[in-house]
Amino acid sequence: MSDEEKRAAKPSITFQPIKTAAAEDPFETLRKTIVGFGQLKKGWDTYDAGPPSNEAITMALRVLNELEQMDELEVSIEWAVPTGDQSILFQYMIGDTICHWQFDSDGDIAVMEKPAEGEPAYLDVDPSEIAEVLQGFTHAAD
């Protein structure tokens, strides 16, 4: 069987935006989703991808936990997806500002903040700077 036939024979996984029932906590739903990415089987993407690394999962959960502690924010969690290179992406909005985080398999973190008006900002984030970056987004959204 050719590689193309093997890929066609494998079921594909489609990740949809995170939707929660009114009584569900969107942070807990996203937390479960991110942890669940670690259970993906090798080849989940119909190619040869493994599940997101422990480092990517740990950093994504760390940002989510910090974000959850910031009660003053009105956060709308939009989606989270694993990538073929064992990383995780997730996106949420604060008001009209899009915040898009990338958690690489080696533990590196990048974030893009795109306000409704103006230019997007791109940052490489050290884990020690997570709270400070989130606070910056809080003030930018005011």
Question: What's the confidence (pLDDT) of residue 1?
Answer: 57
**% of residues, the chain, pLDDT over 90:** 56
Say yes or no to pLDDT of 11 above 60.
Answer: no
pLDDT(7) > 60: no
Q: What is the residue extent of each domain of the chain?
A: 3-15+23-141
Assign domain 3-15+23-141 one CATH number from 2.130.10, 3.30.920, 2.40.10, 1.10.357.
3.30.920
pLDDT digits (tens, 9 = 90+) for 76-98: 888 999 999 999 999 999 888 99
Residue-level pLDDT at 33: 93
Please choose, from the candidates 29, 34, 26, 28, the residue with its C-alpha nearest in 3D space to the C-alpha of residue 51: 34
